[in-house]
Structure 1
Amino acid sequence: MDKPWLRNYEPEVPATLKYPQTTLHYNLEQAARKHPDAPATIFMDAQLNYAQLNELADRFAAGLQSLGVKKGDRVAVYVANSPQFIMAYYGALKAGAVVVPFNPLYGSSEVRHQLRDSGAETAVVMSRFYPIVKEVRSETPLKRVLVTNIKEYFPSLLRLLFTVVKEAKEGDRQSIAGDPDTYWYQEFIGNAPPRPSLVAVAPSDTAALIYTGGTTGVPKGAELSHFSLNANALQCRAWMHHCQEGQETILAALPLFHSFGMTTCMNFAVLMSSAMLLIPNPREVASILEKVAKWHPTVFPGVPAMYLSFASFPNVGRYDIRSIRACLSGAAPLPPEIQERFSKLTGAHLVEGYGLSEAAPVTHANPVFGQGRPGSIGLPFPDTEARIVDIKTGTKEVPRGEPGELIVRGPQVMKGYWNMPGETANALRDGWLYTGDIATMDEDGYFRIVDRKKDMIIASGYNVYPRDVEQVLYQHPKVMEAVAAGIPDGARGETVKAYIVLKPGETATPQEFIAYCRSKLAAYKVPEYVEFRTELPKTIVGKVLRRMLVEEEKRRQAAKPPA
């Protein structure tokens, strides 16, 4: 297979890697042996070193075993970014269990579905989420629940202040009195044996079920093995070749339940014996800037909305944030304007990458210090093959530069979807993962995402890719954020509508933007409608919920009286 992308790798990045036949939790044990005193977590200005983190994960694993958790059992982790998430994640792996992370924004119906689908009988739950678990527990397989409070690893003074001022108000003060088989986390690990019994875990065994597809349909559990997760962390290390073991600090503002944060902020950090600067709420920008100025992180994986929030923050120049050297952006297209503003502000190398939960997740990235191409997702990672095939059959490779479906193959790809053989057969064909994204590849092996197959707008028979419209909108000096979507139209089938968030202090009219787009786009791509908003609906990782906007529009149209 021709791999033109290899010609554009940085000299320090190899085309192929060696993948040790080890488990994911072995990396934590190695970090504790080699760098026991190196900071592992920094949370609300309190630190744990790698020896402490590994010891706490051991106790958690031993405690699970004492409750009867066996190899292959699923353990739900419904916890925001905190030391407890990492302890529970690696502790469950040490016990031979499968980790099932939960989105902290989930409501009762989503929690119920994921508990039922995964079959998890044990859950670790942050206290503020416990009422949801308590509500649905009788309708799920849950047998045991461990409840942890976010304050448990705060510094002592802050913990006291939080208890007095915020704990009850923010929903963290909960009672478990009388609830069967429900335990406080700190008492649980305090009473657990110091070491778990050895469990024979193979690299091919499932490590995690990462639920995906919630923005486009019913969530499915992508089954990721120890090997695939380890492979992606190793690929990240090869790509970020400048990073030194035991010397880096990762700004972990991405949620760890999500595959992007799980790999780039946590598993990569543990592999590198790096410190994790844990951010429980990525929307508290002032607090994050203060943490960056104090702890000097060097690597910042994120999403465009995070980089925009930094660049747009009032008086951001008051904060010393130039310690950040490298940033990998994913989950959504990175507008060149945001890339330029953030890089100028920090001096960091901000590059766009690409991935999906089914691939643990990273498959592509622009070279961090090499030749990047704005607007592209860059080059396939080492040992990752990528092709562009025809959308209709998915069997024929299309000519260079032509759009088609992106398919990938590599060591980081999932085993399949949990208990969904039909969905698995559709996504995995002859070892290739069909991503559902429409992309192009140029002569030099750089890939560009055109759009999601499901997001393509068909207006009067013409294919309109929302990204084409959005790139034009982002060039307008008044635009802070923009998204385009296809809404129902009686005459055209679908038509283009733009949703725009203006920069602070700006005003505009829909006609102004329609005229602007008309000067830069083919007529069939020009938005027919423009709506101004104060914010766009997003997932917790900053991906715009285009489907929510379309459903809102459909409800609005249905409510209109007939003409």
Structure 2
Amino acid sequence: MMSVYDQKPWVHHYGTVPEEIDCQPVPLYDIIARWKNCDDRIAIVLEDKDVTYQALWNMVQRVAEGLRRLGVKPRDRVALILPNSLAFVQAYFATLLVGATVVALNPLYTLPELTKLLQDAEPTALIVPPEMVAKVPPTLLPLPWPVVMASANNDPKSEQEAKNVYPTASMLTQWLDLPPIEDDDVPAIDPQKDLALLQYTGGTTGWPKGAMLTHWNLLANAEQSRLWMANLLSPTQDTVLIALPLFHAYAMTVGMNLGLLIGARLVLMPRFNPEQAALWIARTKPTLFPGAPTMYVALTQYALAHDLDLTSIKGCISGSAPLPRSVQENFEKLTHGRIVEGYGLTEASPVTHCQPLWPVDYQAPGIGLPYPSTAVRIVDNMGKDVEPGEVGELIIQGPQVMQGYWRRPEETSEVLKEGWLYTGDLATMDQEGFFAIQDRKKDLIIYSGFNVYPREVEEVLYHHPAVKEACVVGVPDAYHGERVKAYIVPKAGVTPDLEDIDRFCQQNLASYKRPRSYQVVDQLPKSAIGKILRRELARQAAEDQGEIAHEQ
């Protein structure tokens, strides 16, 4: 008997969106190369100039030649520790052009965090902003990897100043004077097998693991996103405002890769703040603005206070956290466009579901419908399909699903079973094929769209000399979605200095991972076998008293 999931009831709501994607697997860098003969088509908008697709492709070829001369070979890894910038796009696609794999890392990570990931990825080279060199203690120089200085918008002066501190480093701006890489030096790519990206995620354990994503995984997800947004796309040229970080899989796919695929202009903000976003919106009139709920809240408030015109924005897929109905309604009222909630995970490149961006006769709250070419089921603990309306684990199959975790066969086997990706999220599907997330099996905390893994934060807390035990939970927060709270049991005879503990966390954790409040307790609730009952603490968190908050 055919399962309800095999019947794909969601397809009835697709409108003009095809059930399957019709796209040939090609190397991901083709999304730039295909526009190279459009002489005056703008690819990236900078503060002082515009970069055409023709110029961007030429830059990518020259940076690729620099990587080749540095010794980067096919299947090597190149770590990009860069903010949103022209340099990120150049380095990303140049890495792919030489057949290597991008490892995109957060430049806000502390040195211990970066070191842990770099030791796992074993990159052949690091591409970093010049200012990062100043953060590395001189005793640690030279680093065990070749370093390339890459200023945000190709400023040779800042790269040279950093090179004076670190003479063995290469300069990306000098590579732009090299000849483009020869066709004979560009390796053949198998888009369905060769890795384009090693994207680190904590998965269900909180220990960082590299999701292995091929050229085809990323291209397919960009094409799925294009089909989903087709009714909103401009017949001439769209402009995409990208304020989410490109080292995050969501911005990488729905911002950069989708934007380049459709030949759009990219407006890259290194960091989001509503005032700067308002300036870029007034200047560039973006039509697409993928973001997170906190961004839409802040921009709505700023627009109302400053009479900002947002009506150029036609479509937004909100990712990284649930989209409150009030946020959606207020933003749509200002833009007259559409903003809908999407869902995904790094292991799926990342998007798997989205609410319709076209008129539909039926609507339901939640994450919407599966993307084209995406098979979805909801199963019980035995792996059997559950009925519509019943809660089970969401599992996914499609061209965007990763190949596995880098050098983690056991963890891979736990989430990839018989071709299905087990998401760890509890969900329901109604009779019409609309999906909703009910809870996360993972204990992760989502702070402003960033995943915070409690175990990683607790590991830092356990290293503080005053801490005997610690447990981290998420506390509902009207602006950030959730904030991190730490419960601490001090060592015997010790009165913990919470300000000192907070400084310790600042030194060892990225800002968004740091607890915003701490509470000292005599003991943590535990099960009969001694397991800390995290969810009981989470339920109590809103009522707890005596906490010291460190709000930003």
TM-score range for the pair, normalised by the shorter chain length: 0.7 to 0.9
Distance in structure 1 (CA, Å) of the matches to 2:210 and 2:134 = 24
How big is each residue's C-alpha offset from its partner over 1:158-212, in whole Å with a ceiling of 9 and x where there is no partner? x9xxx8xxx8xxxx99532363531122123324545462211111210000111
2:466 aligned with 1:445? no
- Which residue of the other structure, out of 236, 240, 265, is the alignment partner of 1:250? 240
Give the structure 2 partner of residue 475 of structure 1.
none
The 1:3/1:184 distance shift into structure 2, 3 A limit, reads: same
Superposed structure 1 runs of 4+ greater than 4 Å apart: 132-141, 192-196, 314-317, 494-503, 542-545, 552-561
1:495 Cα deviation from its structure 2 partner: 13
SS at match of 2:402: coil
2:327 aligned with 1:338? yes
Give the structure 1 partner of residue 484 of structure 2.
none
Distance in structure 1 (CA, Å) of the matches to 2:522 and 2:35 = 57
The 1:200/1:275 distance shift into structure 2, 3 A limit, reads: same
Distance in structure 2 (CA, Å) of the matches to 1:42 and 1:136 = 39
1:315 Cα deviation from its structure 2 partner: 4.2
Give the structure 2 partner of residue 109 of structure 1.
112
1:129 Cα deviation from its structure 2 partner: 2.0
| TM-score after normalising by structure 2 | 0.78
2:390 aligned with 1:387? no
The 1:497/1:192 distance shift into structure 2, 3 A limit, reads: closer
How big is each residue's C-alpha offset from its partner over 1:341-364, in whole Å with a ceiling of 9 and x where there is no partner? 111111110000101110001100
Amino acid of the residue matched to residue 302 of structure 2? F
Give the structure 2 partner of residue 277 of structure 1.
267
Distance in structure 1 (CA, Å) of the matches to 2:344 and 2:138 = 35
- Which residue of the other structure, out of 2, 11, 22, is the alignment partner of 1:6? 11
SS at match of 1:350: strand
Give the structure 2 partner of residue 259 of structure 1.
249
Amino acid of the residue matched to residue 307 of structure 1? Y
Give the structure 2 partner of residue 126 of structure 1.
129
How big is each residue's C-alpha offset from its partner over 1:354-410, in whole Å with a ceiling of 9 and x where there is no partner? 0111000110001102237463100000010111111x33x1111211111111000
Give the structure 1 partner of residue 339 of structure 2.
350
Give the structure 2 partner of residue 461 of structure 1.
none
2:213 aligned with 1:210? no
SS at match of 2:109: coil
Deviates more, 1:209-218 or 1:103-112: 209-218
- Which residue of the other structure, out of 66, 69, 73, is the alignment partner of 2:76? 73
How big is each residue's C-alpha offset from its partner over 1:488-542, in whole Å with a ceiling of 9 and x where there is no partner? xxxxxx9998544589xxxxxxxxxxxxxxxxxxxxxxxxxxxxxxxxx9xxxx9
Give the structure 1 partner of residue 298 of structure 2.
309
The 1:138/1:206 distance shift into structure 2, 3 A limit, reads: farther
Distance in structure 2 (CA, Å) of the matches to 1:440 and 1:310 = 32
- Which residue of the other structure, out of 145, 148, 156, is the alignment partner of 2:147? 145
Amino acid of the residue matched to residue 259 of structure 1? A
Distance in structure 2 (CA, Å) of the matches to 1:219 and 1:311 = 35
2:436 aligned with 1:432? no
How big is each residue's C-alpha offset from its partner over 1:29-79, in whole Å with a ceiling of 9 and x where there is no partner? 10213x332110012252101001000000001111111111001001111
2:314 aligned with 1:325? yes
The 1:495/1:54 distance shift into structure 2, 3 A limit, reads: closer
How big is each residue's C-alpha offset from its partner over 1:207-248, in whole Å with a ceiling of 9 and x where there is no partner? 000111189611110000001111001101111112146510
- Which residue of the other structure, out of 163, 174, 196, is the alignment partner of 1:176? 163
| TM-score after normalising by structure 1 | 0.77
Distance in structure 1 (CA, Å) of the matches to 2:218 and 2:474 = 39
How big is each residue's C-alpha offset from its partner over 1:434-484, in whole Å with a ceiling of 9 and x where there is no partner? 11111111000000011211349xxxxxxxxx99xxxxxxxxxxxxxxx9x
Distance in structure 2 (CA, Å) of the matches to 1:137 and 1:257 = 25
Give the structure 2 partner of residue 186 of structure 1.
173
CA contact (8 A) 2:78 2:103 kept: yes
Give the structure 1 partner of residue 39 of structure 2.
36
Give the structure 1 partner of residue 466 of structure 2.
none
- Which residue of the other structure, out of 294, 297, 304, is the alignment partner of 2:283? 294
How big is each residue's C-alpha offset from its partner over 1:289-317, in whole Å with a ceiling of 9 and x where there is no partner? 11111111101111101111111226445
List runs of 5+ in structure 2 lacking aligned partners.
Answer: 1-5, 447-451, 455-470, 481-504, 525-544, 547-552
SS at match of 2:428: strand
Distance in structure 1 (CA, Å) of the matches to 2:204 and 2:166 = 34
The 1:76/1:502 distance shift into structure 2, 3 A limit, reads: closer
Distance in structure 1 (CA, Å) of the matches to 2:432 and 2:512 = 30
SS at match of 2:34: helix
Distance in structure 1 (CA, Å) of the matches to 2:72 and 2:286 = 37
The 1:134/1:92 distance shift into structure 2, 3 A limit, reads: farther
List runs of 5+ in structure 1 lacking aligned partners.
Answer: 154-158, 457-465, 468-482, 486-493, 504-536
Amino acid of the residue matched to residue 285 of structure 2? H
CA contact (8 A) 1:353 1:364 kept: yes
Count of residues in correspondence between the two structures: 470
CA contact (8 A) 2:77 2:121 kept: yes
CA contact (8 A) 1:147 1:184 kept: yes
- Which residue of the other structure, out of 1, 7, 23, is the alignment partner of 2:27? 23
C-alpha root-mean-square deviation of aligned residues, in Å? 3.4
Distance in structure 2 (CA, Å) of the matches to 1:183 and 1:152 = 13
Aligned 1:49-60 pairs, distance under 5 A: 49-60=52-63
Distance in structure 2 (CA, Å) of the matches to 1:81 and 1:106 = 15
The 1:315/1:353 distance shift into structure 2, 3 A limit, reads: closer
